[in-house]
Amino acid sequence: LDLELEWQAVRQPARDYMLQLSLVDASGAVAWRGIQPLGAGHATSHWLAGEIVRPRYTFELADLAPGSYQALLSVGEEEQVLSLGTLVVSANLRSFVVPEMEHTVGALLGGTVELLGYDLSPEPSAGGDLSVTLYWRALQAPLSEAKVFVHMVDASGAIHSQVDAVPAQWQRPTSGWLEGEVITDQHVLELPADLAAGDYALLVGLYDANTLDKWQAV
């Protein structure tokens, strides 16, 4: 679950607060609970009075049954609970079959994930969008948390368009992949309107979501 919230510090917080997200089922029981630092990468003790922050939180809904849940939010030890409304959780549709693809690669990253290949569409043009569909296979599980990068670069290595995201449009974090599972992972690059005609390369890979270290090809 990828959640982005907007906060404003009424006054400068005296300490670092934690955010708690609870999912409550139809019977009123808490089916799942996640806790993360309220400030994500920007601790609340560093917030200034009047400052507006928009942290993004990623929760893994492990072992949660599909269904409808009431999403409840609380901060620190406060008794006040805020409702974010109803969250509908669907089951992952997993595949262990390698699909057809335009280009095969077979690159091994970090010793644990194979980039099977990719599709591209349509023909790239200045000001247009370029869809890049990657096909990954997990060689073992569990995996650490990683993000995908897709960079379009010129001959000098300058980046003209890029995407950095959790696989499958933030829906399939690597920590939830199973051994042998094949993940279809689509990204859309927005090409600049002033992009010069010429030859460009696409650089694709994975990097650790916490340390930002790239997973090396082996």
Q: 3-class DSSP state for residue 167?
A: helix
DSSP 46: G
For the chain, give the mean pLDDT.
93
pLDDT number for residue 218: 76
Percent of the chain with pLDDT over 70: 99
Q: What is the pLDDT of residues 32-44, one digit of tens each?
A: 999 999 998 899 9
Residue 3: which residues within 8 A CB-CB, separation 6 or more? 21, 56, 57, 58, 59
Residues counted in the chain? 218
Please state, in angstroms and rounded to a whole number, the distance separating the CA atoms of residues 4 and 166.
14
pLDDT number for residue 175: 87
Q: 3-class DSSP state for residue 174?
A: helix
For the full predicted model, state whether its pTM sits above 0.95. Answer: no
User: 109 falls in which pLDDT band (50, 70, 90)?
Assistant: very high
Contact present, 159 and 201 (Cβ < 8 Å): no
Q: Which residues does residue 87 pair with via DSSP β-bridges, in sequence order?
A: 69
Residue 79: which residues within 8 A CB-CB, separation 6 or more? none
Position 2 pLDDT exceeds 90: no
pLDDT number for residue 1: 86
pLDDT number for residue 152: 97
What average pLDDT does range 129-140 have in this prediction? 96
Q: What is the pLDDT of residues 157-211, one digit of tens each?
A: 999 999 999 999 888 889 889 999 999 999 999 999 999 999 999 999 999 988 9
pLDDT number for residue 214: 94
Contact present, 189 and 118 (Cβ < 8 Å): no
Please state, in angstroms and rounded to a whole number, the distance separating the CA atoms of residues 199 and 163.
19
pLDDT number for residue 78: 65
- 168's enclosing H/E stretch is helix 167-170
Contact present, 6 and 52 (Cβ < 8 Å): yes
